[in-house]
Structure 1
């Protein structure tokens, strides 16, 4: 999205807010919000649009004012539309650019959780955007990329030299490649990239099978992972990978950032226990307050910085 489009979106929002606070008649509102250029190009879920418009119409009908034809027309259009198994979510970046993801409309599809975006991925993306120097001109490896939100935000806002997305499930990798292409990055190794645009690859990486030598070929300066601690088994597999990274890059071990949502008192406890057992130093990154992206208000999200060496200094 071009900067002028971003300015337009900002003024549209302010116009909406001003009219709401002044209790202006609903027909005067800038309803073209739902015709935002990003929204027109990458449609959200039909079910979501239907619910949104139905709610809006109920609110509108609850006040004594003229019927708003535009709302009823929009709802009629949505009611006629067929629900797809894929929908889009778009996230606006401070630069005015946006990250758009094609996601599965099923929350857990094909036996994997990697086809949807989770809160810790949004939180880690926000932290990255506010700390671009961690990634600028460096090679970044993402473990368990899922739909690709965090990595795409890093690629667009932090100017890494190279970015390796990775996951192990075939369906997730297929969707991930699609999302990388959807956001304007090439996966062809010989395609010239724009100056400042990172070299992007998508790798199949099974945490239980990968070897130290395979990991060393990535030559990662930074390793990131978000919302990957959803079971004890997976947590142990992740620590295995971190130990391998520590062993194969003892001289220049990468900086590692792992973000997870605290869903129960046990979330993260096993991870921290296993990190201590492996001799991997960790510290909690101070939480950031301002939110760039909308996610669950009451989510408790932790970002840990790990040091993969035996020298416990940061």
Structure 2
């Protein structure tokens, strides 16, 4: 195989690996490129490599995506194979037979490869809205904020971080693994989200036990139930954050008003040295984003847009626009 062709295949396999581990929509996979490669190749070696990088990946064997997702992926892979090869590939059909007999669950796993080479794995709900909340799944703004944090570790190194609306925990876990904070406080208001969040922390090697050993890759961590509507200045003052972050929390006017309110109370806790605040969001409705900046102005909170970054580390939804604002309390 020529070096150029080998490099192309490596990029293709990497793309399949990242998307499959994160259980991204099947339409986002580079199927057309795979089909062209299969037409050029007389054997099934490339398909076997795709299978090893996806369904048979060691991370996915331990923590698989949903049964339905795996079944749909394998079915599509078989269609691509049958379109260009007359001989069946036993490994594909054996993998499909395994998943056809597996029981479906309301939970699945999504995994993300970090620059260190390790995988960050989350247990999530298979439904976008579950138990009355959207906090049981990971959204693009959390990925975007995590990637920005990994590229700007000095913002978090040796500092105490409070995350508002941690959801499944992707951003916080990435920061804990890659940015060496002194302490990290995950928070959310929904009891089911907090239960899942604790499980994801344990899944990724973080301990909530008092007196647990901490080091550069395992900072002191805690999980707090925090309702922005009722949280008081005395309650917030116990956290002593140097940095406050939030991702994908600008989805309705009521939540925006609650967020601005809790930021005002956080400012009241730190009259001498207010924490740095970063809010990441996906622009779904420009009016919602406008409401947030308007309410910040009314509250006397200054803001500036963080320069946009290239989205390379994680597999994102196509055509989504994501931004980060830095706030000055």
TM-score (norm: length of structure 1): 0.91
Task: Give the equivalent residue in structure 2 for 1:264.
Answer: 285
Q: Tell me the SS of whatever aligns to 1:266.
A: helix
Task: Give the equivalent residue in structure 1 for 2:226.
Answer: 205
Query: 1:164 deviation in Å?
Result: 0.2
Task: Note the alpha carbon deviations across 1:54-79, whole angstroms, 9 max, x for none.
Answer: 01111111114321111011111111
For the Cα contact (< 8 Å) 2:133–2:190, is it kept in 1? Answer: yes
Task: Note the alpha carbon deviations across 1:243-289, whole angstroms, 9 max, x for none.
Answer: 01111102110000001111122121111001001111100011101
Alignment of 1:129-140 (within 5 A): 129-140=150-161
* 1:41 corresponds to which of 62, 66, 69: 62
Between the aligned partners of 2:168 and 2:42, the Cα distance in structure 1 is 41
Between the aligned partners of 1:94 and 1:88, the Cα distance in structure 2 is 20
Query: 1:290 deviation in Å?
Result: 3.7
Residues 26 and 161 of structure 1, relative CA distance in 2, 3 Å threshold: farther
Q: Tell me the SS of whatever aligns to 2:110.
A: strand
Residues 26 and 154 of structure 1, relative CA distance in 2, 3 Å threshold: farther
Task: Give the equivalent residue in structure 2 for 1:295.
Answer: 316
For the Cα contact (< 8 Å) 2:228–2:258, is it kept in 1? Answer: yes
Query: 1:12 deviation in Å?
Result: 9.5
* 1:218 corresponds to which of 236, 239, 243: 239
* 2:188 corresponds to which of 167, 183, 188: 167
Matched, 1:13 2:33: no
For the Cα contact (< 8 Å) 1:129–1:157, is it kept in 2? Answer: yes
* 1:187 corresponds to which of 173, 197, 208: 208
Between the aligned partners of 2:38 and 2:179, the Cα distance in structure 1 is 37
Alignment of 1:74-85 (within 5 A): 74-85=95-106
Task: Give the equivalent residue in structure 1 for 2:300.
Answer: 279
| Unaligned stretches of 5+ residues in structure 1 | 1-9, 309-314
Task: Note the alpha carbon deviations across 1:133-180, whole angstroms, 9 max, x for none.
Answer: 000000000000000000000000100000000000010010011101
Task: Note the alpha carbon deviations across 1:24-54, whole angstroms, 9 max, x for none.
Answer: 2352122322221111111111111001000
For the Cα contact (< 8 Å) 2:144–2:311, is it kept in 1? Answer: no
Alignment of 1:235-254 (within 5 A): 235-254=256-275
For the Cα contact (< 8 Å) 2:135–2:193, is it kept in 1? Answer: yes
Task: Give the equivalent residue in structure 2 for 1:32.
Answer: 52
Task: Give the equivalent residue in structure 1 for 2:141.
Answer: 120
| Unaligned stretches of 5+ residues in structure 2 | 1-9, 17-32
Aligned-CA RMSD value: 2.0
Task: Note the alpha carbon deviations across 1:164-221, whole angstroms, 9 max, x for none.
Answer: 0000001001001110111000001212224542101000000011111111110100
Query: 1:305 deviation in Å?
Result: 0.3
Q: Give the aligned length.
A: 299
For the Cα contact (< 8 Å) 2:109–2:121, is it kept in 1? Answer: yes
Residues 228 and 11 of structure 1, relative CA distance in 2, 3 Å threshold: closer
Task: Give the equivalent residue in structure 2 for 1:306.
Answer: 327
Alignment of 1:149-168 (within 5 A): 149-168=170-189
Between the aligned partners of 1:195 and 1:115, the Cα distance in structure 2 is 28
